[in-house]
Amino acid sequence: MSSETILSITDLIKHFPVKKSRDRKKSVVKAVDGISFDLRAGETLGLVGESGCGKTTAGRTILKLTEPTSGKIVFEGQDITKFKHHKMTSIRAQMQIIFQDPYSALNPRQTIGKIISAPFEIQKVEPAGGVKNAVQTLMERVGLNPEHYNRYPHEFSGGQRQRIGIARAVALKPRFIVADEPVSALDVSIQAQVINLLDDLQREDGISILFIAHDLSVVQHISDRVAVMYLGKVMEIGPTADLYQQSHHPYTKALLSAVPQPDPRSEKSRERIILSGDLPSPINPPSGCVFNTRCWKVQDKCRTEVPQLVQLGATQVACHFPE
């Protein structure tokens, strides 16, 4: 990992307008509501949070698969926030995505060879030794049998399909990949295989990864740094080891304590923070700190004043009363 910053996100906002209905005035879903972070070359940043916290939207907006409402995205020194479609196409060779569901991410009517060679075709790249050769090398690299070049997606298992998606994403040797829940659809024994594969590819190619996941155990294994999101905002961000050992935000603490571990003796003695209630609606998030409706440390100040991310120990935390 070098100290070179490859991606820099500043105050990124993505609001989706909600259609007018009889009893609701025009309103917006605040999916991503002002997040900022940097990603260094070869680094993995884990983005964790519960469903609806905006982590997937954040990933898609950074890749400009949806247009940001405001904020700034700087990729390799270029401000790409305002880039239009044709200008993005040339940059897309450098930024790729791996999707969550390996069943719907592959065209069922195309052969594996065709699917993995799509990036070469779209970017009009002629690899040395020909496309077929390059694709077969890629297949071998991700642990697929190159002889299966002419097979169709339905002939592969979930884990193998995810390998196909990974081969496609790394085909052009990108500098940055958004991996959106890449292992959550897989069984544990297969999940470990795919995590290890991602790990190897990253080390060999020096790729930076934004690893989006809800599973905190998986995120700890793969990330150098972790950002915890809640209702469109980053609650805490910092180096993985520090965040997992000495988290300062009550939400991070609650999340960590809620994950059941495969260790019955410690599970029985463990103190769990059980949050009450559910995630509030991102259309009408609570005022002040968005976590105040579920926080056990809530004070009046939390309901009125939005906490900013401040450095505390090794992590940055957005809380008025950090632990």
Partner 1 sequence: MTELLRISDLHVAFPTDDGLVRAVDGVSLSVSQGETVAIVGESGSGKTVTSLSVMGLHKKGSAQMSGSISIAHDGGFLDVISAGEEEIRSMRGRSVAMIFQDPMSALHPYYKIGDQLAEAYLVHNPGKKKEAISRAIEMLDLVGISEPAQRAKEFPHQFSGGMRQRVMIAMALMNSPKMLIADEPTTALDVTVQAQILTLLASLQKEFNMGILLITHDLGVVAQVSEKVNVMYAGRIVEQGGVDDIFYNPMHPYNLGLLKSVPRISATGSERLKAIPGQPPSLISLPAGCAFAPRCEYIKFTDGNACATLMPELAGTSASHTSRCHIDESKRQASFAQAMKEVR
Query: How many CA atoms, within 13 angstroms, populate the side-chain half-sphere of residue 162?
Result: 23
Does 260 interact with partner 1 (rule: CB under 8 A)?
A: yes
The minimum distance between CB 188 and partner 1, in angstroms, equals 5
Q: Cα-flanking dihedrals φ and ψ of residue 106, to 5°?
A: -115, 135
Can you spell out the DSSP letters for 159-183?
A: HHHHHHHHHHHHTT--SEEEEESTT
Q: How do strand 225-230 and strand 176-180 relate by DSSP bridges? A: unpaired
Segment near partner 1 (CB under 8 A); pick from 29-37, 101-109, 116-124, 195-203: 195-203
Does 269 interact with partner 1 (rule: CB under 8 A)?
A: no
Does 308 interact with partner 1 (rule: CB under 8 A)?
A: no
The one-letter code for the residue type at 104 is: S
Does 323 interact with partner 1 (rule: CB under 8 A)?
A: no
Does 190 interact with partner 1 (rule: CB under 8 A)?
A: yes
Distance CA 185, CA 194 (A): 11
Does 279 interact with partner 1 (rule: CB under 8 A)?
A: yes
Residue from 68, 159, 285, 322 binding partner 1 (CB under 8 A): 159
Distance CA 140, CA 146 (A): 6
The one-letter code for the residue type at 223 is: S
The minimum distance between CB 51 and partner 1, in angstroms, equals 6
Does 124 interact with partner 1 (rule: CB under 8 A)?
A: no
Does 122 interact with partner 1 (rule: CB under 8 A)?
A: no
Distance of CA 293 to the CA centre of its chain: 26
Residue from 131, 244, 297, 320 binding partner 1 (CB under 8 A): 244
Q: Give the H or E element holding residue 120.
A: helix 112-122
| Binding flags for partner 1, 44-83, as an x/- string (CB under 8 A) | ------xx--------------------------------
Among candidate residues 57, 43, 18, 93, the one with its CA nearest the CA of residue 210:
43
Looking at the DSSP bridge assignments, the partners of residue 9 are 37, 73
Task: Please provide the distance, in angstroms rounded to a whole number, between the alpha carbons at the two ends of the chain.
Answer: 31
Does 23 interact with partner 1 (rule: CB under 8 A)?
A: no
Does 214 interact with partner 1 (rule: CB under 8 A)?
A: yes
Q: Between 3 and 189, whose beta carbon lies closer to partner 1? A: 189
Q: Which residues make up the interface to partner 1 (CB under 8 A)?
A: 50-51, 157-160, 187-193, 195-196, 199, 214-218, 220-223, 240-241, 244-245, 254-265, 267, 272, 274-276, 278-279
